[in-house]
Amino acid sequence: MAAIDRAPTGVADATLREALATARRAVVFTGAGVSTECGIPDYRSPGGIWTRYRPVAFADFLASADMRREFWRRKFATHETIAAAVPGRGHRAIAALIARGVVSCVITQNVDGLHQRAGVAEDRVVELHGNTTYARCLECGRRYALAPIRRAFLAAGTLPECAECGGLVKTATISFGQTMPAAEMRRAEAASLACDLFLVVGSSLRVQPAAGFPLLAKRAGARLVIVNREPTPLDGYADQVLQGEIGPLLGAAAGVG
């Protein structure tokens, strides 16, 4: 069984610093917990986003203009919260560790783009569930800013279509029933197999297939450390489980205030 340290300081900080200091090919895997400290509610807890705004399935988005309109209504109902959020201490700590060469990349389940806004280069972020801060054409992949889409939708309920090919446009997130991004899954698998430390930060580790990467890394020989406020289903497989607030733990370990 993993050693579990519930203290947010002291031994927990030292344990995390030691794990990072001895790693040569560390990977960080983040979930909602790294962003809840920035004011972005998570999805599954009571009062979370799904409690108030049930997601529109991908098949329904494709099949019905009414459901596409509902998709965008729900998106823009939560848009300001994400748009106003700024990277927290946890994001800044991860960015610092990547800048120092301690961490090779961050694999994230989050869609808020806060890792990039904290200074992590696009090619060092593997977004398993996409990104809600911009949109893409489902046909040709052309990228679109959200601001003009939002203005047109709020003014007249106008649904976005691709100016290039006429295809449907949606946020660059992975909806229920939508195929996981093959390139990102391959990148996450390669990083998991190559790392010597797999550091889980703020994830419930309940969403598949993303939650399979920690075990993949562990079975390939990596040290598995889980930092989360609550227990996870993979705690028993971890070499170390640290329970506490994400920002203070990561910030202290990385020397970031």
**pLDDT for 153-197, tens place per residue?**
999 999 999 999 999 999 999 999 999 999 999 999 999 999 999
Axis-axis angle for helices 89-99, 246-254 (nearest 10): 30
Domain boundaries, the chain: 1-40+87-129+181-257, 41-84+130-173
CATH architecture entry for 41-84+130-173: 2-Layer Sandwich (3.30)
Q: Which of 157, 80, 152 is nearest to 112 (CA)?
A: 80
24-46 mean pLDDT: 85
Percent of the chain with pLDDT over 90: 79
Q: Are 196 and 25 in contact (CB under 8 A)?
A: yes
At 83, is the pLDDT very low, low, confident or very high (cuts 50, 70, 90)? Answer: confident
- pTM exceeds cut of 0.85: yes
pLDDT digits (tens, 9 = 90+) for 97-150: 999 999 999 999 999 999 999 999 999 999 999 999 999 999 999 999 999 999
Q: Domain 1-40+87-129+181-257: what homologous superfamily?
A: TPP-binding domain (3.40.50.1220)
pLDDT above 90 for 44: no
206-218 mean pLDDT: 94
For residues 180, 183, 189 and 193, what is the CA-based torsion angle, rounded to 10 degrees? 180
**Alpha-carbon distances of 80 from 21, 77, 144, 195, rounded to whole Å:** 38, 7, 18, 36
Q: 112: which residues sit within 8 A by CB, 6+ positions away?
A: 35, 40, 82, 85, 131, 132, 133
**Alpha-carbon distances of 148 from 43, 82, 84, 158, rounded to whole Å:** 26, 17, 18, 11
- Which residues are known to be catalytic? 129
At 15, is the pLDDT very low, low, confident or very high (cuts 50, 70, 90)? Answer: confident
What is the rounded distance in angstroms from the CA atom of residue 257 to the CA atom of residue 255?
7
Buried b (16+ CB within 10 A) or exposed e, 148-166: ebbeebeeeeebbebeeee
What pLDDT score does 45 carry? Answer: 53
Q: Are 194 and 171 in contact (CB under 8 A)?
A: no
At 39, is the pLDDT very low, low, confident or very high (cuts 50, 70, 90)? Answer: confident
166 is written with which tokens?
Answer: 């006429």
Q: How far apart are the first and last CA of the chain?
A: 32
Cis amide bond preceding 46, omega within 30: no
**Alpha-carbon distances of 76 from 8, 81, 157, 170, rounded to whole Å:** 36, 10, 12, 12
Task: Scan for tokens 């969403």, then name that residue.
Answer: 207
What pLDDT score does 53 carry? Answer: 61
What is the rounded distance in angstroms from the CA atom of residue 85 to the CA atom of residue 19?
30
What pLDDT score does 41 carry? Answer: 79
